[in-house]
């Protein structure tokens, strides 16, 4: 009977119930959306880092540090025997050296990154280099990322002087020709980086057969003379950043949940306040306080359940639509996050379930809290509408 009453009360309150349900449903959708968007952002950042740079880890020359360019020239070794036999789909040989570009007579320190052009392990937009000749002619073909090209004021077809030092310390210089300005989805392989064929870089630095690291699909065990850097090591700074992001999301999640709770609490207080006479009447008719509390709490629970249904009805089409268009974050393209211009939701069922359950739990609690007062109401006061002020 109480359930039937609660249901009738809820349905027949019309607009008030509808708004309640709608607000709660929107909060549930907002919570899931915010969490999933961050998941999508993080997943994309990790995936992009992995597919463009890190792969399954690096076998690196011991002591190499990407942040110490002055030591790059001393830290190269021939490709170890254990990695030579790996197919191109499972390894990418990389040589990193210092260089200086002189665009518009300005000095521009750059990282020369040579990569085995036949590799298919990393997803890099370097196809224009593949088509070039093995031998270096009057210019060295290079590819720049969009950010790098923008900062150096270079465009496709430009030639610019490149200066470098070879293995023996001799300084040499030659024009490089920008074959392509490619969209690099990972800023670490864009800003300050000049991409060239590995054989070209080896040739100009006289480091035949040498590499700085070999990116591999999966570890192959210890390799003599090289140290293995795990994915976690190589992405440590990004992972730390994402961890902070997750913490911020938790704060956002908490605020949204609190918002939902306050909204329901406010509604229930208003409900109890506005319905004092009704409560008094129910008491006069012989309904016990416990049953009245149960009635109001049930109304809260039913609101929560209806909100879940509404969230599903409104949320699913919205999420489907959103997956089609994505979220434009091109304004972030100059930040250090390795993300594409659009991100998409990564909906985790566990998060959906616990966010929904927590929202419903909070709603039930917030429905019950103000109604507790009913138990202490004097029927005569309630009938006069003066029990709660």
Residues of this chain that interact with another protein (CB under 8 A) are 1, 8-9, 12-13, 277-278, 280-290, 378-380, 383
Q: Closest distance between another protein and the C-beta of residue 381, in Å? A: 9
Q: Closest distance between another protein and the C-beta of residue 31, in Å? A: 31
How many residues would you count in the chain?
A: 389
Q: Closest distance between another protein and the C-beta of residue 291, in Å? A: 9
Closer Cβ to another protein, 6 or 260, answer by number: 6
Closer Cβ to another protein, 17 or 186, answer by number: 17
Closer Cβ to another protein, 56 or 379, answer by number: 379
Establish how many alpha carbons lie within 13 A of residue 21's alpha carbon, considering only the half-sphere containing its beta carbon: 22
Closer Cβ to another protein, 281 or 333, answer by number: 281
Q: Closest distance between another protein and the C-beta of residue 367, in Å? A: 18
Q: Closest distance between another protein and the C-beta of residue 284, in Å? A: 5
Helix 349-371 × helix 289-325 angle, to 10°: 150
Closer Cβ to another protein, 277 or 348, answer by number: 277
Written in H, E and C, the secondary structure of the chain is CHHHHHHHHHHHCCHHHHHHHHHHHHHHHHHHHHHHHHHHHHHHHHHHHHHHHHCCCEEECCCCCCCCHHHHHHCCEECCHHHHCCCCCCEEEEEEEEEEECHHHCCEEEEEEEECCCCCCCCCCCHHHHCCCCCCCCEEEEEEEHHHHHHHCCCCCCEEEEEEECCCCCEEEEEEEEEEEECCCCHHHCCCEEEEEHHHHHHHHCCCCEECEEEECCCCCCCCCCEEECHHHHCHHHHHHHHHHHHHHHHHHHHHHHHHHHHHHHHHHHHHHHCHHHHHHHHHCCCCHHHHHHHHHHHHHHHHHHHHHHHHHHHHHHHHHHHHHCEECHHHCCCCCCCCCEECCCCCHHHHHHHHHHHHHHHHHHHHHHHHHHHHCCHHHHHHCCCCC
Q: Closest distance between another protein and the C-beta of residue 286, in Å? A: 2
Give which of 206, 176, 204, 182 is closest to 108, Cα–Cα.
176
Q: Closest distance between another protein and the C-beta of residue 322, in Å? A: 38
Q: Alpha-carbon torsion 199, 200, 206, 210, what sign?
A: negative
For residues 195 and 96, what is the distance between their CA atoms, to the nearest angstrom? 10
Burial 367-380 (b: 16+ CB within 10 A, else e): bbbbbebbeebeee
User: Which residues lie across from 160 on neighbouring strands?
Assistant: 176
Closer Cβ to another protein, 51 or 281, answer by number: 281
Q: Closest distance between another protein and the C-beta of residue 20, in Å? A: 15
Closer Cβ to another protein, 35 or 383, answer by number: 383
Closer Cβ to another protein, 11 or 236, answer by number: 11
Q: Closest distance between another protein and the C-beta of residue 272, in Å? A: 15
Closer Cβ to another protein, 13 or 139, answer by number: 13
Closer Cβ to another protein, 237 or 378, answer by number: 378
Q: Closest distance between another protein and the C-beta of residue 373, in Å? A: 14
């Amino acid at each position: 009977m109480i359930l039937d009453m609660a249901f009738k009360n809820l349905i027949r309150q019309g607009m008030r119930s509808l708004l309640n349900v709608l607000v709660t449903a929107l909060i549930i959708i907002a919570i899931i959306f915010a969490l999933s968007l961050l998941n999508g952002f993080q997943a994309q950042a990790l995936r992009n880092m992995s597919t463009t740079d890190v792969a399954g880890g690096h076998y690196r020359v011991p002591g190499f540090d990407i942040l110490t360019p002055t030591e790059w020239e001393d830290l190269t070794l021939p490709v170890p025997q254990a990695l030579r036999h790996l197919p191109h789909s499972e390894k990418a040989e990389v040589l990193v050296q210092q260089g200086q570009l002189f665009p518009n007579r300005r000095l521009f320190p750059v990282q020369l990154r040579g990569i085995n052009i036949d590799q298919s392990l990393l997803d890099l937009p370097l196809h224009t280099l593949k088509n070039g000749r093995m031998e270096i002619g009057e210019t060295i073909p290079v590819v720049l990322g969009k950010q790098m090209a923008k900062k150096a004021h270079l465009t496709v077809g430009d030639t610019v002087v490149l200066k470098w030092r070879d293995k023996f310390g001799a300084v040499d210089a030659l024009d490089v020709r920008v074959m392509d300005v490619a969209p690099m989805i990972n800023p670490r392989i864009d800003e300050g980086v000049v991409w060239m064929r590995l054989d070209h870089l080896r040739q100009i630095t006289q480091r035949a057969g040498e590499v700085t690291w070999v990116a591999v699909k999966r570890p192959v065990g210890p390799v003599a003379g090289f140290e293995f850097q795990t994915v976690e090591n190589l992405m440590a700074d990004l992972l730390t950043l994402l961890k902070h992001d997750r913490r911020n999301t938790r704060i956002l999640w908490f605020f949204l949940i609190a918002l939902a709770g306050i909204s329901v609490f406010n509604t229930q207080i208003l409900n109890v306040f506005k319905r004092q006479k009704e409560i008094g009447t129910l008491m006069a008719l012989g309904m016990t306080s416990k049953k009245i509390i149960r009635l109001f709490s049930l109304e809260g629970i039913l609101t929560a359940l209806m909100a879940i249904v509404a969230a599903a009805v409104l949320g699913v089409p919205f999420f489907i639509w959103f997956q089609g268009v994505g979220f434009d974050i091109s304004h972030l393209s100059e930040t250090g996050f390795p993300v594409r211009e659009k991100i998409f939701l990564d909906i985790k069922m566990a998060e959906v379930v616990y966010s929904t359950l927590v929202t419903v739990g909070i709603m039930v609690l917030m429905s019950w809290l103000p109604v507790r007062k009913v138990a202490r109401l004097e029927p005569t006061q309630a009938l006069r509408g003066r029990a709660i002020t």
